[in-house]
Amino acid sequence: MKIRRIAAGATLAISSLIAASPASAAVIFADTVIDFFNSGANPSFPTGSYGGTFPGSFPVAVPLSNATDGNAATFVSLPTGSYITLGFSGGFVFDGAGLDIFVSEVGGADETANVYVSSDFGASFTFLGVATTSTVSGFDLASIGYTGNVNAVKIVGLDNFGGSPGFDLAFVQGLEGSVVVNPVPEPTSLALVALGLLGAATAARGSRG
Ligand SMILES: [Ca+2]
Ligand SMILES: [Ca+2]
């Protein structure tokens, strides 16, 4: 009887771990830069990318990774007509219950940006909505009847407002319930893939004689 109780407790603990793991993993940031365009609408930074840290120093020249680092304090500014296209390398976003895609703007000087979604890594886009200032704007893919899997998002600045002129993009995110996270290949499956490739190469050589 004693052994049975211990076994039942162990089973419960394992199943809680299994139930808990997807929730912590199912948050993905747009973590790759696919495209960037500086319109030159801010004459102080006609080329390259600028933005800063909020609170902190701005506008200063910054890397585009300020928009992909998942950090709400670091940003890239998008003055009128400038855009950045970001991809999700860790999975994709789909129309789950409620809001699906989140776009963060820091500071707050009435800046806005158009948000577009793509299912072909930025080859084509569909307009989703307008992100607003000093908040994390949430979007529901159902609001535009979008049924595709989103793997890229494009943000287009609409103004030159603020201390760092334009929409100050901090991050783009998909949340639990609306994302599918790519499985991480285990070393054993990677080894099998390598073996398979080796086998295919050997077979190809053999068939060429
Ligand atoms: Ca939704
Ligand atoms: Ca950031």
Q: pLDDT tens for the chain, 209 residues: list them.
A: 444 444 444 444 444 444 334 444 588 999 999 999 999 999 999 999 999 999 999 999 999 999 999 999 999 999 999 999 999 999 999 999 999 999 999 998 999 999 999 999 999 999 999 999 999 999 999 999 999 999 999 999 999 999 999 999 999 999 888 999 988 777 776 666 666 666 666 666 655 54
Residue 117 lies in a domain: yes
Q: How many angstroms does the Cα of residue 69 sit away from the middle of ligand 1?
A: 24
Residue 65 lies in a domain: yes
Q: How many angstroms does the Cα of residue 149 sit away from the middle of ligand 1?
A: 12
pLDDT at 200: 63
Domain count, the chain: 1
Residue 195 lies in a domain: no
What amino acid is encoded at 121 in this protein?
A: F
CA 171 to chain centre: 7
- Give the ligand with the smallest distance to the CA of 96: 1
Residue 114 lies in a domain: yes
Distances (CA, A) of 106 to 2, 69, 124, 165: 58, 14, 28, 12
- Give the ligand with the smallest distance to the CA of 142: 1
pLDDT at 185: 73
CATH assignment of the domain containing 84: 2.60.120.260
pLDDT at 163: 96
- Give the ligand with the smallest distance to the CA of 143: 1
Q: How many angstroms does the Cα of residue 125 sit away from the middle of ligand 2?
A: 23
Range of the domain at 57: 25-181
Residue 124 lies in a domain: yes
pLDDT at 158: 98
Residue 128 lies in a domain: yes
- Give the ligand with the smallest distance to the CA of 100: 1
50 phi/psi in degrees, rounded to 5: -135, 165
Measure the CA angle with vertex 206, ends 203 and 209; round to 5°: 155
Residue 189 lies in a domain: no
pLDDT at 35: 98
Burial of 132 (0-12, 13-18, 19+ CB in 10 A): middle
Residue 79 lies in a domain: yes
How far is residue 72's CA from residue 170's CA, in Å, rounded to a whole number? 5
